Structure formats: C-alpha cells, structure tokens
C-alpha cells in the first residue's frame, strides 16, 4: 500500500467528516480494511477497493457523529490553500444527501474515474452523473453566496 | 437500429424543462449525443432557470477544483498508516472527552488511587525498614573488660548493687552505677568520653580501664578521653586516676588493623507467636540480652514479632537451644559494618507464625 492511496483515504474522511480525530481514526480503520481486501484479491482495482473500504467504514462511523459540527485544523496535518474558503463545503457537508456527498468526494475531489465509482457503487454512469449534477448545483449555490465565489465566477 | 426514436408526434426530440435541468451536468460534461446537446442548448437559451442552474453547476465545479488542492502531510499519512492498538480503540470507545467533568475527575482519582495502592503493595517495606534499623547510628557500644579491670581482685569485689552477677555488662548501656562513668558520644562531633571515677574504681589496685571495640570507635571518629577526679581523692587515688587516664587513652591510638563486624540474622516459625514471644523476651533478658535497635524486644511486626538485640557470645548456644524448642531457628552470620565489642554479638531474629 503506497502513500497516495493512504492520502486518498485520509482526504475522503476529512471531506466527509470535517473532524480531525474522527477522520484520522476512520482513515486508519479504512486503511486496515483496504490492506485486508488487497491481500484477498490477487489483481485488484485499487480505486474500487478504496471506495469499498471507505464506504464500509463510513457506514460504521456516520451514526456516531453529527454533521454540521466541524472540528478540524491545519495542525492535524491537512494542508489547506490560503485562499480557500471552507464555508460552502461546510454547508454542503451539513445539508447534502449522503449519496450526493459521497459521489462528489469520490468522483470530483479524489478524482476517481467515473467507471470505477459507478462499478464500486453498483450504479450506472447516468445515475452517478445525475447525483453529481444535483450535488454541484447545491455546492455552487453555497459558493455563489460568498463574496469570493462571485470573484471566481467572474474569472 | 441507428434510427432515432421519435419522442414527439412531430418527430422532434424536444425535452421537457425537468429533464433538461437534470441533463445540465451531462451537457457540461459533454456526455450527451448531438441531438440531446442541441435540445439542452435550446432549453438553456430560452430558460432563465436553466441558465441559473448551469451557472451554479459551473460554480460548484470550480469550487470543487479548489477543494482538490487540499493535501495531506507526510506525518499524517504515517499516523493513518500506524495500526490502531486495542488501547486506543478502547479510549475512543470510552469517549472520555464527552464524559461529565465530575465523572472524569472521579475516574482519574480512582486510577491514581489504584497506582498508589499498587506501589504500596509492591515496595518491600520490611526490607527498607530493616535497612533503616541496620544503619541507625543510635547505638554505640564500648565495653570495659571486667577481667582486665579486676586485676588481682576477685570477681565478687567488682559486683555492684543492682548489677547482674551472671551477665557480662555493657558499660555504654548500663545504668552508670557500677563505675559512675559517663560516656558521651556523638556521631556529629568528635567523640568525647568523660570518666568520673569514684572511690570504687579508685580503690582498685592498678585499675585498668579499657574500652572494648576500640577499633570500631577509632574507625568512626577520633576519641578524646577526659578524666575528672574529685579534689579530695587526690594522692594515691590521683595516681590511680592518672593511670586510668593513661589506660583509657590507649584505645584512641590509631590501629592499622581493621576489624570486621558481624550480624546474626535469623528467622523462626513457631506456633502461636503471641504466647511464644514473651517467653523469648524473658529468656533473652535472662541471658543478658539487651535490645539493640529502636524497638522493644518482641516488637510486633505484622503477624510475627521482631527481636533486635545484643547478647554475650557465650550465651548464644543457650539461646539457640531455647528458641529451637518452639521451632527450627534458621540463622545466618552476615558481615556488617558495625563492629561489636569482643564477646558480644548482635542478632536480628524474626519470629513468624508457622504456616504463613
């Protein structure tokens, strides 16, 4: 297991939980699960295994935390761009349906190919794009509501 | 099969507003066929809502591009890769941070109390206590040899009222009535022995006052001997005093030979410690034994009793024989820094209840 895969898993839980301690704990568990899955499959699709591992751990932890209470800081090891405003994402993470939230993280933020995401989730590409479309509309709505977002649209 | 399915009566693939809105992401991602693309484009050109939605999707995608720049440090990667221990999992499951402050403090106090009790149980206090007793500087023993002191006089002439006839006396532990000697010794200051000789001693022909265990004293501190004589006792007595002083000064001369001290340490298991202990105390006192430490003979120590005492070496076999009547005495002779006077031995005997 290389570091890039660990990074993907860590980022998934950062975006999904917005909580340092819980994200690190969940990422650690997902990493263990991922390694277990890799041992079982001789020629695995790592992207699919990452999605399956993160989804399995997400199902375990999602009931133990409350969305909309972010507890993260750069001190924990996340490198956030200085110009980035996390406000829209906090709003989105708090209010978006689970399937849309996860679809955006896997497909757009972790940039896992559409085929792998849809295969891992057992849905069609059209369904995945439908979720992404609805999610981006919400996320765009939140980001347009901030002053910085207006600048980004102009550019 | 390549024939396009007519969605309307007029054969046009015109899409509804609802479908058009849902196809906006596909349109922007260029995932639609040409006909659909045209249909959506037409919808967007006429529908203000579709234009707003498309703008939102573009904004969302642009914001997602910014989020993609979030990175993870090497340290955090290592932390994630480190397998979680059962202890960590346990702590996480306990959720201590979410406990009320009172409950947390109570738990912490409980853990601290457990720690203190564990230390108290594990530390061998009895050994530490023995070490403390062994290194005590309270007891300093010197002895005046009666044989040498008596010279040509008979033993009976030396026995004073209240003195035990069958025991060897310890000048430093005695009442002082025998020779009225005052021995003042301090480990802090240079040792001073003050002799106030009375007629009893002065009347003795050529009284030779010596201190047994002189080497021990010499090893510790230099000894200064001061003799006081009453003015009326001058003359022959004065001469005797001078002799005594000269004799008493002798031990302070440095000796090159270093003597080795010994300690007899023993244990014995008996039945019914509480009834046997007084018998031992009585016997030790009968044999001329004296307590040597800071505790009384037969001091209750746990379930057993503790004897730290000195006794004439000649009485040792009798003591062992007596003690063995109640059990089997196991005794070892250990080297010790404290040197006892000749003929005196120091013992530490611990009496335990049998079967414990």
- DSSP string for residues in B1-37: --SPP--STTS--PPPHHHHHHTHHHHHTT-S-HHHH
Residue B346 neighbours by CB distance under 10 Å: 23
Average pLDDT, integer, range B345-356: 88
The residue written with tokens 């003359």 in the block is B235
Interface touch B77/A10, C-beta < 8 Å: yes
Domain count for chain A, please give it: 1
Instruction: Tell me which residue range forms the domain holding A66.
Output: 3-154
Read off the pLDDT of each residue in B310-331 and give the average, rounded to a whole number: 90
Query: Minimum mean pLDDT among A62-76, B259-273, B307-321: which range?
Result: A62-76
Q: How many C-beta neighbours within 10 Å does residue B45 have?
A: 9
* Chain A interface, best mutation among B51, B70, B97, by max A CB count within 10 A: B70
Please check whether residue A70 is in contact with residue A47, taking contact to mean a CB–CB distance below 8 angstroms.
Answer: no
Residue A149: C-alpha distances to residues A146, B61, B267 (Å): 5, 12, 89
H or E element: which one contains A78? strand A78-79
Percent of chain B with pLDDT over 90: 22
Minimum Cα–Cα distance from A151: chain B residue: B59
Distances (CA, A) of B102 to A25, B96, B110, B111, B114: 27, 12, 12, 14, 18
In angstroms, the separation between the Cα of residue A153 and the nearest Cα of chain B is: 7
What is the pLDDT, as a whole number, of residue B13?
Answer: 63
| Residue A41 or A32, more confident | A32
Q: Which residue of A has its CA nearest to B26?
A: A129
Can you give the pLDDT at residue B143? 56
**Of the partner residues A7, A29, A137, the one whose CB lies closest to the CB of residue B53:** A137
**Chain A residues within an 8 Å CB radius of B76:** 10, 24, 76-78
Give pLDDT, residue B191: 44
What does the DSSP 8-state code read for residue A77? T
Average pLDDT over residues B120-132: 82
Q: In chain B, whose CA is at the least distance from the CA of A8? A: B72
Predicted confidence at residue A18, as pLDDT, reads: 92
- Which are the contacts of B163, defined by CB distance < 8 A and separation ≥ 6? B169, B177, B178
Quote the ipTM score. Answer: 0.89
Q: What is the model's pLDDT at position B159?
A: 40
B302–A contact, CB cutoff 8 A: no
**pLDDT tens digits for B44-103?**
888 898 999 999 999 999 999 999 999 999 888 988 887 666 776 677 667 676 788 898
**A contact residues 114-153, partner B, Cβ 8 Å cutoff:** 126, 129-130, 132-141, 143-144, 149, 152-153
At B56, give phi and psi (nearest 5°).
-65, -40
Sign of CA dihedral A47, A53, A59, A62: negative
Answer whether residue B341 shows pLDDT above 80.
yes
Predicted local confidence at residue A41, as pLDDT: 78
How far apart CA B145 and CA B212 sit, in angstroms, is 7
Q: Are B273 and B352 in contact (CB under 8 A)?
A: yes
- CB contacts of B55 in chain A (<8 Å) are 140, 144, 153
Q: What are residue B332's phi and psi, to 5 degrees?
A: -130, 145
The residues, any chain, with a CB within 8 Å of residue B146's CB and separated by 6 or more, are B155, B158, B168, B169
pLDDT category of residue B140 using cuts at 50, 70 and 90: low
Residues 36 through 75 of chain A touching chain B, CB cutoff 8 Å:
none
Pair type for strands B290-291 and B261-270 = unpaired
For chain B, what is the mean pLDDT? 71
Name every chain B residue with its beta carbon within 8 A of the beta carbon of A80.
70
| pLDDT confidence bin for A48, thresholds 50/70/90 | very high
**B215-235 mean pLDDT:** 42
Pairing verdict, β B290-291 and B344-353: unpaired
Sort out which chain B residues have CB atoms less than 8 A from A77's CB and list them: 72-73, 75-77, 79
Lowest mean pLDDT among A37-51, A89-103, B151-165, B260-274: B151-165
Specify whether the CB–CB gap between B354 and B269 falls below 8 A: yes
Chain A nearest CA to B98, separation (Å): 12
DSSP string, B177-237: TTT-EEEE--SSS-EEEEEE--HHHHTSSS-----BTHHHHHHHS-EEEEEE--GGG-THH
**How many residues in chain A?**
155
CA-nearest residue to B91 within chain A is: A25
H or E segment and range at residue A43: none
pLDDT at B67: 92
pTM of the predicted protein model: 0.47
Rg (CA), chain B: 49
Which segments of chain B are extended strands (E)? Answer: 71-72, 181-184, 191-196, 223-228, 261-270, 290-291, 299-301, 304-312, 329-336, 344-353
Is A33's pLDDT higher than 80? yes
> Which region among A82-91, B158-167, B312-321 has the lowest average model confidence (pLDDT)?
B158-167
Distance CA B83, CA A1 (A): 13
**pLDDT tens across B265-315, in order?**
999 999 888 899 999 999 999 999 988 888 888 898 888 999 999 999 999
Which residues have CB under 8 Å from B131's CB, separation 6+? none
């Amino acid at each position: 297991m290389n570091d890039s895969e660990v990074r993907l898993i860590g980022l998934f839980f950062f975006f999904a939980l917005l909580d340092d301690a819980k994200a690190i704990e969940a990422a650690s568990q997902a990493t263990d699960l991922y390694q277990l899955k890799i041992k079982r499959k001789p020629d695995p699709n790592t992207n699919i295994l990452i999605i399956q591992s993160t989804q399995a751990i997400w199902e375990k932890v999602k009931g133990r935390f409350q969305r909309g209470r972010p507890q993260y800081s750069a001190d924990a090891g996340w490198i956030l761009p200085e110009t980035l405003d996390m406000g829209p994402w906090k709003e989105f993470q708090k209010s978006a349906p689970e399937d849309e939230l996860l679809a955006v993280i896997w497909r757009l933020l972790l940039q896992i190919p559409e085929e792998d995401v849809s295969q891992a989730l057992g849905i069609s590409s059209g369904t995945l794009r439908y979720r992404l479309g609805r999610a981006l509309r919400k996320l765009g709505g939140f980001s347009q509501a901030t002053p910085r977002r207006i600048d980004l649209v102009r550019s | 099969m390549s024939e396009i399915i007519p969605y309307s009566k007029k054969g046009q693939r015109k899409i509804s507003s609802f479908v058009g809105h849902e196809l906006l992401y596909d349109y922007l991602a260029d995932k639609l066929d040409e006909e659909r693309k045209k249909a959506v484009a037409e919808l967007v050109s006429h529908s203000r809502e579709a234009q707003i939605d498309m703008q939102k999707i573009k904004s969302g995608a642009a914001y997602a591009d910014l989020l993609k720049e979030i990175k993870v440090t090497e340290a955090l990667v290592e932390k994630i890769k480190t397998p979680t221990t059962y202890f960590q999992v346990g702590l996480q499951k306990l959720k201590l941070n979410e406990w009320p402050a009172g409950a947390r403090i109570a738990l912490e106090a409980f853990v601290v109390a457990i720690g203190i009790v564990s230390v108290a149980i594990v530390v061998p206090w009895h050994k530490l206590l023995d070490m403390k007793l062994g290194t005590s500087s309270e007891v300093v023993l010197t002895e005046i040899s009666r044989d040498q002191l008596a010279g040509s006089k008979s033993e009976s002439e030396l026995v004073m009222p209240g003195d035990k006839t069958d025991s060897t006396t310890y000048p430093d532990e005695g009442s002082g009535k025998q020779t009225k000697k005052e021995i003042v010794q301090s480990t802090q200051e240079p040792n001073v022995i003050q002799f106030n000789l009375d007629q009893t001693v002065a009347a003795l022909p050529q009284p030779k006052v010596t201190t047994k265990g002189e080497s021990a004293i010499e090893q510790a501190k230099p000894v200064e001997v001061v003799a006081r004589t009453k003015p009326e006792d001058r003359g022959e007595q004065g001469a005797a005093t001078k002799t005594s002083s000269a004799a008493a000064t002798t031990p302070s001369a440095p000796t090159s030979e270093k003597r080795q001290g010994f300690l007899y340490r023993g244990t014995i298991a008996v039945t019914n410690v509480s009834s046997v202990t007084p018998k031992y105390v009585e016997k030790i006192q009968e044999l001329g034994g004296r307590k040597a430490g800071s505790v009384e003979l037969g001091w209750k120590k746990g379930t057993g009793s503790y004897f730290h005492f000195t006794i004439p070496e000649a009485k040792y076999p009798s003591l062992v024989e007596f003690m063995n009547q109640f059990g089997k005495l196991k005794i070892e002779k250990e080297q010790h820094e404290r040197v006892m006077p000749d003929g005196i031995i120091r013992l530490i005997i611990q009496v335990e209840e049998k079967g414990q």
